[in-house]
Structure 1
Amino acid sequence: MSILTSYSVDCFRNLKAVDFKPSPGFNLICGPNGSGKTSLLESIHYLSVGRSFRTHKISPLLQVDQQSFLIVAGIEGKEGRIGLSKSRQGLLDLRVFSESQKNFQTVAELLPLQLINSDSFSLLEGGAKLRRRFLDWMMFHVEHSFISRWRDYRRAVSQRNAVLKSMSREGFGALSRVEQEGLLLVWEHEIATLGELIDSDRRLLFDLLLPYFREIAKDFLPHYELGFEFKSGWDNSESLANTLRDARPRELQYGMTLYGPHRADFQIRSDGVLAAEILSRGQIKLLVCALKLAAGQLIDRLRFEKTEQVNRCTYLIDDLASELDRENRAKVIERLAKSGAQCFFTAIEAEDLPEVAEISLKTSGKFHVEHGKIRSA
């Protein structure tokens, strides 16, 4: 199970010596603005994936007079704990059940997370990179070998881009034109082989995701007929190998690879128009919630089929009341309750999320944060 049974965090933003035992179901974190509610969710996110959802820098995460932060968590059904310390200089000490880790892959497998916050709109309104990351997050949790294939593909694209840039210049460095053309063909073959496999995996996953998403979206936005389109990153009526060959003259001008799964995207449309262009902010947030809930349901199912172990996605929901009226908040909360997942909600007042408050109070999952300290409410 991917349920946090204990959680401690120290010197992360304004959080100081926080230590509590979350409920396996709903957890409601209440407190005034600036009290540390979002920082608590941010620390859980950092523990799982090794990065903040608010900054790429380490300095804002640390208290002014501290050189490092510390996070320690217990996982249901597992002996030992996960421990993470990171210094102002960027030095990382990550341990999973006393074993040192080089990266966050093992923790990400143990603790799959979905974040719903004020920036969630960017999944539909932002660039394609965010939507690729969303699909690839699912791919990683369904098939852990995907990340290795994706890294190999990105390396091949980087190498081909370097050759393209070199060939676009008047001088060809240490290699002759013929040698560089041969090297270009080598990397093109690698890109085409890996790219077709990555695209096939993504398409299969997207097809599996759609029924879950359609069912939830129909509940959230019953008056809209939504259309969906997955884009491979090239016209796949042609093979990627042929596309790269035909595009070579143009790509030499730009010095970069313009086609392949690194340019993939998916779109959601309403009446033929991009949903993000015609829906209200609240409706867009509902669509994002539907996508993330559908993703969680899908990976829960596929991981269970593969391992016969329940390992549900954990949800971090920051300020659900923003942009959503009470009726639509209730729809999202009901879905989360039915999922059986561990959820962490934030709100200024418990009255902002009465359904969550009622459930969390019954399971000892209601907490109050103030001045970086947490206590049961």
Structure 2
Amino acid sequence: MRIVNGRFLGDSLGYFTFYNSNGKSTVDYMLTSQNLFYTINNFMVKPPTDLSDHCLIALNIFNFKNSKEINKEELWSLPGTFKWTNQNKDIYIDALLEENSVEDILSLNKLIDDNNFNDIDFLVTKTNEIYLEAAKNSNAIEIVDCYKYFGVDFHSSGKFIQAVSSLSDKAKKAYFALKSKLPYSENLSVKTWFQLFNSMIIPILTYGSEVWISEFKPNFEALDKNKLEKTQNSIFKNILGVHGKSSNLAVRCELGTLPISIKCYQLMYKYYVRLSDIGERSGGPHEILKAAFEVDKTLTNRENSWSNKLSELLKYIGIPLNKHCNSNFKQKLEDFYKNKIIFELSKIKDGNCEALDLRDHHTVSSDNNPL
């Protein structure tokens, strides 16, 4: 093995890689094998940042193209995975004793006993197929009230309330975990925390929201009552360092942001446009998705219909359901909420100095950037 630090262009002087209140030193090294040593182009130690005591190190190597073509048909596919329990033993034996498995085993035994058959690879492959097929047949489907699929909780009732609650809890845990791991987190600016929230917490809160946001009835006056908004408001108040009972409206105006539900409704409409643009001959999963979407649009008398929920939202803000007005929908939705804010601010008593200050300086941005 070879140490790269201090030996290449970009770090010829051997810069320090660690800085804290006690001093600085070189504790982070890049190691490479002797065979790869000559392929290194340059090595750099990045300047220190507020997010870590350790500097980021970067390595560039020459790119060599392999001219040898690989025949993917000769590669072995990965077998399926199975969760084994004590009860699976008897189930697996019963699966091996089924008629189809027994016929395959007898056919395989005939080939093994045949002295003229010497294809050992075929025998091994056939044996694996018998074992895997029996394992698949013995993997019984369990009936449950709630099932997590790709990070979203699906409940037997068809409701997504539990999924939203789970995502909200995960987002809050992620925020406080981030806060506990970052050095000098208490000294980070509000702007930095807001950027971290948008890049790391928002994706958790809005995961799958294109579908589950239809669970909430469009009512901007009561947005702060749902779990999603409570989580975002709680994090914002923690970032600003204000009391937990502070006005949610004042906190959002201070940060110049919108309720998280606005973002979810925008994603919902964007998903509608995407579903509408799927061609009839797309094939595969897209064809199934398109068919389900067309059926959902016909369920006009069903309260929980996804398309019905979107129509209610558009009727609430006063625009038609049209896939060609995506940008207009985004702006219309944000303007509708801003007008709600102005109406609420107009009801604040003039005798409250803090309220007057908020009224004079409030601005709600459409790009989720703080003031």
**TM-score, reference length from structure 2:** 0.24
Q: Which has the higher contact order (CA 8 A, sep 6+)?
A: 1
Larger Rg: 2
**Larger proportion of strand:** 1
**Larger proportion of helix:** 2
